[in-house]
Amino acid sequence: MKGIESRKDDHIRISLEHDVASSKNYWDDVKLVHEALPEVDFDDIDCSTTFLGCRLSCPIIVTAITGGFPKAETINKNLAIACMNLGIGLGVGSQRAALEGGDDRSYTIIKEYDVPLKIGNIGAPQLIRQKNKRALTEEDAQKAIDMIDADVLAIHLNFLQEMAQPEGDVCSAGCYDAIRSLARDLPVIIKETGAGISRGTALRLKGIGVRALDVSGVSGTSFSKVESFRSEDLDKTDSAEIGRVFGEWGIPAPISVISANVGLPIIASGGIMNGLHAATSITMGAKCAGSARAILKYAMESPEATERYLRIMIREFKTTMFLTGSKNLKELSEKRFILTGAVREWASYLEE
């Protein structure tokens, strides 16, 4: 168990000490049209929404930063307080450590706060047998939900990260059936971890009971790069090279929002660094925007610092609504967006 705790500690440390972001933030290639005469008062703008049955003051979710090691308790506590005060959603990191016998306090801490949307988290690779490791069961999944009083459970797809991880779980056959089985009885969403979800994969997931997709495309943290740095620290040359070579692998986040829009609610994540990015994702078809890396350093400081940063993000979101003449999210979702640069090239390819 100490191995998992140490790995999670490494992930946070490396994310803060090294440049592990995508070399390009593709959200900057998406432009909105300025409305010079908005005809709406800023204070009258309503950015509230209902997502997966939960009422949010703004369609922003702090997505799956961490859990499973001592420092994570403080991070998740600070996040929970801020998200409660602001009325926005919160997801925890993978709960595998607690499900395999580790201390669950870094997760259960968020039960003490009235966060309007809480998202649990387990990995798809752990739903099947990996080498000498047992597969997580429906009982384990329910335990993950109960651990934080989760409204929904995210099953994360992190096979790129697993390939770059020295001790990675690299079996995948059977994961789809395992997800389908869980989704029959439990409130399940699917979350990528930085490489995006294609239209084909989204269509495969549609209709098996999955309630939403968190696309988490290329633009934000590359866990391939994180694992590459970690492998270097461990003197694991092979996995370090895999992490480096595939550090930019995946589907750009804005493209994944478009391509994965098959009728399931979408959380746009991967490089959402400010409220403009978040609002832009709503015009592209997302129902909520998820952010993690942008908030991490504040979450390590205090709940006040976390809340202060998130308040700025929400104001940036509302400013985008004001400057596009949008009184509510329905009007924002109907605004035009323009694709430029690499995102436009990707979109042209997908249209062929």
Annotated binding site: 7-8, 63-66, 94-96, 121, 161-162, 191, 216, 221, 292-293
Pairing of strands 213-214, 188-192: parallel
Residue with structure tokens 């998820």?
A: 290
**Cβ-based neighbours of 135, under 8 Å, separated by 6 or more:** 126, 127, 128, 129, 178
Annotated binding-site residue numbers for Mg(2+): 162
Report the number of secondary-structure helices (H) and strands (E) in the chain. 16, 12
Which amino acid is residue 310, in one-letter code? Answer: L
CB neighbours of 137 closer than 8 A, spacing ≥ 6?
A: none
CA gap 213, 272 in Å, rounded: 16
Angle between helices 223-233 and 237-245 (to 10 degrees): 160
- Say how far apart CA 65 and CA 20 lie, in whole Å: 14
Cite the annotated binding site for FMN by residue number.
Answer: 63-66, 94, 121, 191, 216, 221, 292-293
Sequence ranges of the binding site for substrate: 7-8, 94-96, 161
Token couple for 190: 């699917």
List, as one string, the DSSP characters of 5-22.
Answer: HHHHHHHHHHHHHS--B-
CA dihedral 284, 289, 293, 296 (to 10 degrees): 160
